[in-house]
Amino acid sequence: MRLASSTPRWKRWIALFVGAAMLPLIGACGATPGLPATATPMAPTAPPAPGGAPTAYPAPGGAPPTAYPAPAASPTPAAQATLVAPTATTVPAARPTLARVTPTGALPPLTGLGAVPADKAAAAIADLARRTGADPTAITIVSAEAVTWSDGALGCPRPGMAYTQALVDGYRLVLGLNGVNYAYHAAVNGDFFYCERPGV
C-alpha cells in the first residue's frame, strides 16, 4: 500500500527542475572568466619598485612563472643636463662717446669756452678733425655753453630709443668748419658726442 504524500507531485517536479538548473550557476560563481575550470585565479601582485629586483609573473597556460627584467633606472635629476633656451633681448645701441684723444696737430686757440672744460672741447675738436679729415687748426668754436638738458637724450634723441625723463646738467659745443656747423653734446660727467640732428 502506498502512502499519500502531503506535497503535490507537480510541486516536486518544479523544485527538481529549478535545483537542476541552479547547479551550473552555483558552480560558476567562484570561477574567473576566460580561465579553464581547473586553473586557479592568480593573486594580484604589486608592481616592482624602480631599480628593484625582477618580479616573477605567471606565464599563460599554467606554465611556471617567468622572471622579466626590471626596467632600467632613470638618471637622477643631478645627472640630467638642464637645457636653457636662449632668450633674445634687445639692447639699445650705446651712444658713441669720444675717447680721450690727444690731438696730433696743433689746436686752435681754445677761447670762448665759458664753463666748458678745455680738455672736453679739445677731444671734440680732435673727433671732428678725424671725422672730416680736416686740419684741427681749421676748426673754430662757434659757441660753447653749459646747459640743462630736458631728459637723458641730452638734446639728441634717436628714433626708437627711450630715455630717462629727468633734467640733466651738461654742455653744448658748436664747432665750425668751412662754413658748416657741427653740434657736440655732453653731460657734466660725460664726454662730448657728435649730434647729427640736434633737438631740444
Vertex 143: Cα angle to 137 and 148 (nearest 5): 135
Chain position carrying cell 541552479: 22
Average pLDDT, the chain: 72
What pLDDT does residue 13 have? Answer: 72
Q: Rounding to the nearest 10 degrees, give the CA dihedral for residues 155, 161, 162, 165.
A: 0
Read off the pLDDT of residues 168-196 as tens digits, 9 standing for 90 and up.
Answer: 999 999 999 999 999 999 999 999 999 98
Vertex 159: Cα angle to 154 and 165 (nearest 5): 40
Residue 25 confidence (pLDDT) above 80: no
Lowest mean pLDDT among 18-27, 98-107, 112-121, 129-138: 98-107
What pLDDT does residue 95 have? Answer: 55
What pLDDT does residue 199 have? Answer: 74
- The residue type at 84: V
Read off the pLDDT of residues 27-44 as tens digits, 9 standing for 90 and up.
Answer: 666 555 555 555 555 555
What pLDDT does residue 8 have? Answer: 72
Vertex 42: Cα angle to 22 and 56 (nearest 5): 170
DSSP SS3 for 24: helix
Residue 45 confidence (pLDDT) above 50: yes
- Comparing 82 with 115, the larger pLDDT belongs to 115
Contact 128, 182 (CB under 8 A): yes
The predicted model scores a pTM of 0.46
Measure the CA–CA gap between 141 and 93, rounded to whole angstroms. Answer: 29
